[in-house]
Amino acid sequence: MRFTDTLQAASLRNDSTLCVGLDPEPAKFPGAWKGDAGKVFDFCARIVDATKDVVSAYKPQIAYFAAQRAEDQLEELMAYIRRVAPGVPVILDAKRGDIGATAEQYAREAFVRYQADAVTLSPFMGFDSIEPYMKHDGKGLILLCRTSNPGGSDLQAQVLANGDKLFEHIAKLAAGSWNRNGQLALVVGATFPAELARVRELAPTLPLLIPGIGAQGGDIEATVKAGWRANGPIIVSSSRAILYAGAGDDFAAAARQAALSTRAALNAAIAAVR
């Protein structure tokens, strides 16, 4: 199935627009696991077990695994999610951006080694940095557009010769000439709801991956009002606020409760704008 179809099916089945980001930090692990990089898989698997019926997607951040020399545990985790949460898409948060043969290898990393359903990409080297990923039929390519960090304005808010801000230009390209196979989506931060609304205006039907709620302080109601449309899916990502909701042996139960609360808040906000 195409990423967009898998995402829609998971969202309907679990009544959810919530994506749980898997950003394992051993220093924050509970109890006897604290500081143990050998428990990366175990920690993440427990989170998946606790939330698999609550989410529309998972989003492992590759740097958190690579920094712990835990890429093998990431492979194991990806296979585990496919086994215990079939039909829930997995977005590899890698933010790759390169051209030619190098981009082809990054695409193999994401879609062959890790068998991700989608990958985050930096579009700032142009279309030929995106094109090699399109050879992997049905996979989602989620382009950085208006990111949640304050420093994103340094480049993304710059005004181009045609009067567009850079993030607006990216949104137009992704919704238009770049989206040859219907594989593209955009990353837009919850911390900038006005810009999020502008991206939705320019790309009315593209899926939007929206980080920035939870620990980063993005407002759920403002996010949904700006980004959700009946034919324009949103994937609202929360990582730390769910992963580390509890610090004891009941951490998975605490993560589940945090995920349920976040899903309920998202659904209430969607009901208010329908």
- CATH number at 7 reads 3.20.20.70
Q: CA-CA distance, 129 to 147, in Å (whole number)?
A: 19
Could you list the residue range(s) of the whole structural domain that residue 210 is in? 3-273
User: Global pTM?
Assistant: 0.96
Residue 7 has pLDDT above 90, yes or no: yes
109-150 confidence digits (pLDDT tens) = 999 999 999 999 999 999 999 999 999 999 999 999 999 898
The separation between CA 149 and the C-alpha centre of its own chain, rounded to angstroms, equals 15
Helix ranges restricted to H, the chain: 3-14, 40-51, 62-66, 71-84, 100-108, 153-156, 166-175, 193-202, 220-227, 240-243, 251-273
How far are the Cα atoms of 2, 84, 100, 174, 247 from residue 62, in angstroms, in the given order? 22, 21, 22, 24, 23
**How many domains, the chain?**
1
95 is catalytic: yes
What integer pLDDT is reported at residue 34 of this predicted model?
96
DSSP β-ladder status, 208-210 and 57-60: unpaired
Provide the 3-class DSSP secondary structure of residue 100.
helix
Average pLDDT over residues 64-79: 98
The active-site residue out of 28, 95, 172, 225 is 95
Angle formed by the axes of helices 220-227 and 251-273, to 10°? 50
Measured between alpha carbons, how far is 52 from 70 in angstroms, rounded to an integer?
Answer: 22
Backbone angles phi, psi at 267, to 5 degrees: -65, -35
Residue 215: pLDDT band (50, 70, 90) is low
